Structure 1
Amino acid sequence: MKVGMMRKSGSWQSVWDDRILEYLREKGPAGATTMKKSDYFDISRGQISDRLGKLRDHHLVQEIENGVYRITDRGEAYLDEEYDAASGAYIAESSENSDVRASEKDSI
């Protein structure tokens, strides 16, 4: 984790989303039932399933078979503070694009 940086979560995210992503990165592909049985979560299996669906909708996890999910490259980048879930853009891309726009303004 970079010093002084924070994960950029979206307004659609819940407090459990980071924990779900961390679990998938550490333990590998899993479904809501397996996650609930792990005692890593203090929410219901249904809530975990709902959050997995929301994370899938935002491309942070991918369903690889019926109800089993894996973390995606975007999910990894989010955990590493390299992806802004609010804007749906990689942070390096955002800062590079800002630098390009700033240099374009400077040349005018």
Structure 2
Amino acid sequence: MGVGPEMAEPVNEQAAECCAQEGTLRKSHHSEKVKNNLISRLNRIEGQIRGIKGLIEKDTYCDDVLNQIASVQSALNGVGKLLLEHHLKSCVIERIQEGDMEVVTELMTTMNKLIK
């Protein structure tokens, strides 16, 4: 799938503000809505982790703890999917349009880490 002239404009409202380069450091600049969504999800996950710690401290049946761990892993995958979607729709497209094909290698490396 190529990126043609029809993709010259940002594909969503976050695209223009997602990624900026300051020197050699790349930074994301998500909209407040996206950032708040990610933070809210991570706060819930943080609470789930504390809950799992409490279950272990209370000697809760292993299968129940393992089910809670699976729930946390699923929630983290959801955060990763959301972040990946916004990254693809903004940062990656923007860098490809700028002729920076290194972003594809970077993305593949990151995706390989995510799907281990």
TM-score (norm 2): 0.26
Q: Per residue, is there more helix in 1 or in 2?
A: 2
Larger Rg: 2
Q: Per residue, is there more strand in 1 or in 2?
A: 1
